[in-house]
Amino acid sequence: MLNIGCGDGKVTAIIARSVPDGSVVGIDNSEDVILFARNYVPQDRFPGLSFIRMDTRCLAFDEKFDFIFSNAALHWIRDQRDVLAGIKDCLLFGGRLLIQMGGKGNAAAVLLKAPTGTRYGFL
């Protein structure tokens, strides 16, 4: 699972607790919050959890994720097209995506075209 814009890592740790046999990667553009998350979340309690400083507009992973989650982060990026392209490249076919972006009308111009047979759910 990938958590985009993980911030201080608290939510990412809660998610990691629900997938004890899987791996969870939290990314954020801020080195300070990534350092905080690494210090806040004890590695011995969450062996499958890691935090990486990464620009969300340049997602770069060799592996693909079953689930990608982002809460209250992507609306801070003015042009989300690169983020969405990176998500498309990182998400397994049939994987799930859950994004929450705040702000009235700020995501109105984002158009997500799904391949045939793919379902996207928005909450």
The class level of CATH for 2-100 reads alpha beta
Query: Average pLDDT, stretch 57-70?
Result: 91
Q: How far is CA 122 from CA 47, 57, 63, 73, 94, in A?
A: 30, 21, 24, 15, 15
pLDDT band (50, 70, 90) for residue 100: confident
Residue 113 has pLDDT above 70, yes or no: no
Helix (H) or strand (E) holding 66: strand 65-71
> In the numeric block, which tokens belong to residue 106?
């700020």
pLDDT attached to residue 4: 93
Tell me how many helices (H) and strands (E) the chain has.
3, 5
- Domain residue spans in the chain? 2-100
Residue 112 has pLDDT above 70, yes or no: no
Residues 49 and 38: beta-carbon distance below 8 Å: no
Residue with tokens 């969300």: 56
The 10 Å Cβ neighbour count of residue 1 is: 21
* pTM beyond 0.85, yes or no: no
CA 94 – CA 71 distance, rounded (Å): 21
Residues 80 and 4: beta-carbon distance below 8 Å: no
Q: How far is CA 108 from CA 18, 57, 69, 101, 112, in A?
A: 32, 19, 19, 11, 11
22-41 tens-digit pLDDT: 899 999 999 999 999 999 88
